Amino acid sequence: MGIKKAYNLGTFFTLYIAQSVPMAFFAAVLPILMRQGEYTLTAISLIKLIKLPWIVKFLWSPLVDRHTKEVVDYKRWIVISELLYALIILGVALLKLETQPVLVIGFILLAFVMSATQDIATDALAARAFAPSDRGLLNSMQSMGSFAGSMVGSGVLLVLFHKFGWNHILPIVALFVLVALIPLLQNRHILLQPSRMSNRPKATPRDMFTFFAQKGIYKHLLFLVLFYTGIIGLLSNLRPMMVDFGYDMKSIGFMVGIFGTSMGMIGSFASGLGVKHIGRKWMRRLVALMIVCTSVFFLLTYTRGLLPHSTYLIYIGIGMVWLSYGMAATLVYTTSMDLVREGREGTDFTVQIVVTHLSSMAFSIGLSRIADVSTYAGLFTTSLILGLLTAIYIWFYNPKTIMVR
């Protein structure tokens, strides 16, 4: 790998860190505070709605595509979005969560609008700057950057939050956002791949819908909906489950936020290498089977009464969940990037990832409800069934439009 390519990969790695640190922090601290306040698992799962801007970001993705032609245009969108992201987070630091919860949530939603806009521009630039043969590694950087941000936000900062509190931690969160922009500002080596069309089409709002009109696209959409289903319920309920098992915030921050996300990063990188060396199809099959094995582990250890009383088994379970999720994320990103249309890179990629976000949110809420009604045994059993159904589908799924193996 050349120095320039490695530098470009590193640049995108830091951009994904920039957007994910605040999201990870808010997503980690709020469920724990709510569970300590004796909210139900169903109510806690609704906190995912703070990510609503990421669900509806497809609404303004054509605007970003339409006004980006050169690298400098993408950089402008990214930098402005991140500066506003950091400023809004600093504003949240001046508020009190206990007495101004509605205002705090409102500002968090606005901040996530900025991070979603940055994500649209970053994904579109990534799709145009790298050849298809490099997308496995590129998307492993995307996943690893997200997990690194999650490690900082839901691990390191969660541990520090336990000591310093809300108002002192958020300025640090804003600083992470700004520092992560430095590699992009200094990188002059990002070049766009040659266009396959003499006249590059300009995106319009209609493109949000024409993506779904492509022949055979329903098979890919079913892949996006199903791929996370066997793991998402385990992932979203890890922290509340550990509270129920008697772990405190500091322990959860380290075990899930640091150890877990480290395993996610390892899985992401391994998945990127796997895509490059054995291909997309076999990596999808392998990861689908890994997800099934993860559900089997949780079901067996929990129903036998071992999981709640063994920190060792908890670590194994956390590692399996995050390793599988990291590998799955890289595959979802890579498969989705393969299917973007020229001139609509940001829109098409965003629409596909929104499908995964929306379906994951729905399954997470539904699976949390199952855990409320039938204990964690019901959650693990349902996750196993979903994982098996997904593995069967994945075994026969192979998008015909992908031009590389």
The answer to whether 365 and 233 have CB atoms below 8 angstroms apart is: no
Report which of residues 111 and 167 the model is more confident about. 111
Sign of CA dihedral 235, 240, 241, 243: positive
pLDDT for 6-19, tens place per residue?
888 899 999 998 88
What is the C-alpha to C-alpha distance for residues 236 and 317, in angstroms, rounded to an integer?
Answer: 13
What is the C-alpha to C-alpha distance for residues 376 and 298, in angstroms, rounded to an integer?
Answer: 9
What is the C-alpha to C-alpha distance for residues 15 and 9, in angstroms, rounded to an integer?
Answer: 10
**pLDDT reading at 403 higher than 60:** no
Which DSSP string corresponds to 130-198? S-GGGHHHHHHHHHHHHHHHHHIIIIIHHHHHHHH-HHHHHHHHHHHHHHTTHHHHH-----PPPPSSS
Report which of residues 185 and 3 the model is more confident about. 185
Give every CB contact of residue 170 below 8 A, 6+ residues apart in sequence. 89, 90, 92, 93
The answer to whether 142 and 12 have CB atoms below 8 angstroms apart is: yes
**pLDDT reading at 203 higher than 90:** no
Query: CA neighbours within 13 Å on the CB side: how many for 272?
Result: 21
Window from 7-16, 164-173, 221-230, 377-386 with minimum mean pLDDT: 164-173
Backbone angles phi, psi at 397, to 5 degrees: -90, 125
pLDDT for 266-323, tens place per residue?
999 999 999 988 988 999 999 999 999 999 999 999 999 898 889 999 999 999 999 9
**Mean pLDDT in residue range 344-355:** 90
For the whole model, what pTM was predicted? 0.82
pLDDT for 87-104, tens place per residue?
999 998 888 766 777 788
Window from 57-61, 147-151, 231-235 with minimum mean pLDDT: 147-151
pLDDT for 6-53, tens place per residue?
888 899 999 998 888 898 888 877 777 667 667 777 767 677 778 889
Residues above pLDDT 90, as percent of the chain: 43
pLDDT in the model for residue 115: 94
Q: Any idea what the Cα angle at residue 169 is, between residues 143 and 32, rounded to 5°?
A: 70
pLDDT in the model for residue 229: 94
3-state secondary structure of 274: helix
DSSP H or E run through 86: helix 71-93
Cα dihedral 189, 195, 196, 199 in deg (nearest 10): 180
The structure tokens listed for 213 are 């009109």
For the chain, the distance separating the N- and C-terminal CA atoms, rounded to the nearest angstrom, is 20
Q: Would you tell me how many other CB atoms lie within 10 Å of the CB of residue 373? A: 11
Domain ranges of the chain: 3-191+204-396
CATH topology of domain 3-191+204-396: Growth Hormone; Chain: A; (1.20.1250)
pLDDT in the model for residue 214: 86
Q: State the maximum Cα–Cα separation within the chain, in Å, rounded to a whole number.
A: 64
Backbone angles phi, psi at 169, to 5 degrees: -85, -40
Q: Any idea what the Cα angle at residue 38 is, between residues 307 and 263, rounded to 5°?
A: 40
Task: Read off the pLDDT band of 265 (50, 70, 90).
Answer: very high
Q: Would you tell me how many other CB atoms lie within 10 Å of the CB of residue 312? A: 8
Number of H helices, E strands in the chain: 18, 0
Task: Read off the pLDDT band of 405 (50, 70, 90).
Answer: very low
pLDDT for 240-255, tens place per residue?
899 999 888 788 878 9
Q: Work out the mean pLDDT of the chain and round it to a whole number.
A: 87
pLDDT in the model for residue 402: 42
User: Which residue from 242, 239, 236, 234 is spatially nearest to 298, judged by alpha carbons?
Assistant: 234
